[in-house]
Amino acid sequence: MPTLEWIGKDKVVNHHQEVPYRVLERQYSYDEAGQHTEDNGSENMIIHGDNLEALKALLPQYEGKVKCIYIDPPYNTGNEGWVYNDNVNDPKIKRWLGEVVGKEGEDLSRHDKWLCMMYPRLKLLQRLLAEDGAIFISIGDDENASLKMICNEIYGDNNFIDTIIWQKIYTVKNSAQYFSGMHDYIIVYSKNKSQFHRNLLPRTVDLDNSYTNPDNDPRGVWTTNAVQARNYYAQGSYEIISPSGKKFLPPSGTYWRVSQETFLALDADKRIWWGKNGDSVPRIKKFLSEAKQGVVPTTLWSYKDAGQNADAKQEIRRIFEHESEIFTTPKPTRLIERILQIAADPDSIILDSFAGSGTTAHAVLNMNKTDGGNRKFILVEMMDYADSITAERVKRVIDGYGEDKKAVEGTGGNFSYYELGPVLLLPDGNLNEEVGPQKIREYVYYMETKEPLPAEQPTDEPYFMGLCRNTAYYFYYERESVTTLDHAFLATIQTKAEGYTIYADLCAISQETLRRHNITFKKIPRDIARL
């Protein structure tokens, strides 16, 4: 498989492994009762902070759990004025490039910068994606080819699903130098193609209205499909005679798609349409009552079905009415809803790590209100408008917005707003004990099992974390004292398991005894000299 090379690639290919784990610190919760400091237990999250570090922070809880990812990263058109999906020279990105790539970062082209920025983020997104999940990435012409190349590396070219063409504009720009651009791309990859299953799209009124019943068939309205097809069929070359006596052979280069026996049976069941006069080329009836309850999605999305840029701008103006500073390049809610209809279930987790104005959350809340689903959203936004625009939009969608005839009823729902907190591991490799024991336990358990720490913890075994694959995990930790794995501690263990992994500061049990009881001792990484 061909790979893409660029300046700085060697510095970022494995950079996701070096990104420190940070604590997510809840700032407030929001629901129909408004904003409050108490945790409302919402599984919906809006995170303000560098999306690389935020994605790493999500791993202990969400690795392999996200059903659908949608991202709208910088398009990197070369227009470096502050436009959301153009800019790769944001000060935060420049600082990150300087730290990761080093002095080479000063010589990077805008394409090098973009690739360096995207690669480790796509790596972490791949880890968060469920085995049956898919990622949808909006992109323009400037980085479309490069994006597909690095996605082939990260996700595997065998997991490429398709490229969607979305009609973002329907009016022609006569000022265009060459062609009037009217579309964006949406690149789709699965985590594991063999497990990915796409949903059908809802049938439209226009589609159902295309069914008629000119012969008053008691089975209801119908449309027709051609009898002939280009694919070779061994039993597909025979003469058909119409009710009027007219004879038909398959046109040159085609074959009847059914055998003569099947055709005669369909005709006897009045499933062949010969035209009003009974002498037209036969067609097979397809009844609406027998049609699929949905439509197979295509790769060409019209603005009529998925919205357009103008719709998105009008929508956000209605939400932020009377406010001068609003997000200038949102995506239409209908576009995201269409993606979720195809790739998410009513109880799925949906992630958007380039959240912008929060359209993805808006789409999730709309769909939950419509069908009673319990979809959860996780948004990450690096810029300082994460609270004032991203979260604020979601608040107004929950509550309702607009006035009089333009009023839009609220969807209901909730979320919690987070900031990136301190690192879990200090530069010297020791635990940062300031983050608190619960966060440390979550991190340690995840590193051992790649599973989230169980929500319910036993009160009679305070150091027990959980049982995973028949191994019991214990974290014998006290912030103000040194802990020792000894026989007295072993006597407190109540959980039966095939093996045990026990963290403590010291171990007073012989290696022979540890082996006999299938116990793995691990030293807690902290400076105990100061205790």
Q: What is the pLDDT of residues 218-251, one digit of tens each?
A: 999 999 999 999 989 999 999 999 999 999 999 9
**pLDDT for the residue numbered 208:** 84
User: What confidence category does residue 80 fall into, taking pLDDT thresholds of 50, 70 and 90?
Assistant: low
Flag whether pLDDT at 101 surpasses 70: yes
Q: CA torsion, points 24, 29, 30, 31, in degrees to nearest 10?
A: 120
Rounded CA separation 444/453 (Å) = 9
Number of Cβ atoms within 10 Å of the Cβ of 340? 26
3-state secondary structure string across 320-343 = CCCCCCCCCCCCCHHHHHHHHHHH
Flag whether pLDDT at 146 surpasses 60: yes
Q: What percent of the chain has pLDDT over 90?
A: 79
User: What confidence category does residue 98 fall into, taking pLDDT thresholds of 50, 70 and 90?
Assistant: confident
pLDDT in tens, 436-476: 999 999 999 999 998 999 988 888 999 999 999 999 999 99
Mean pLDDT of 57-79: 93
User: What confidence category does residue 82 fall into, taking pLDDT thresholds of 50, 70 and 90?
Assistant: very low
Q: Are residues 295 and 338 in contact, defined by beta-carbon separation less than 8 angstroms?
A: no
pLDDT in tens, 468-507: 999 999 999 999 999 999 999 999 999 999 999 999 999 9
CA distances from residue 409 to 358, 396, 404, 412, 460 in whole angstroms, order as listed: 18, 10, 11, 9, 48
**pLDDT for the residue numbered 83:** 53
**pLDDT for the residue numbered 85:** 60
Which residues, at least 6 apart from 384, have a Cβ–Cβ distance to it below 8 Å? 48
Query: pTM of this prediction?
Result: 0.86
Rounded CA separation 217/199 (Å) = 31
**pLDDT for the residue numbered 103:** 75
Flag whether pLDDT at 34 surpasses 50: yes
Q: Which domains does the chain have, with CATH numbers?
A: 9-196+296-421 (3.40.50.150), 205-290 (no CATH), 424-530 (no CATH)
Flag whether pLDDT at 107 surpasses 80: no
pLDDT in tens, 260-312: 999 999 999 999 999 988 889 999 999 998 887 888 999 999 999 999 999 99
Q: Provide the mean pLDDT of the chain.
A: 92
Rounded CA separation 501/496 (Å) = 13
End-to-end CA distance of the chain: 55
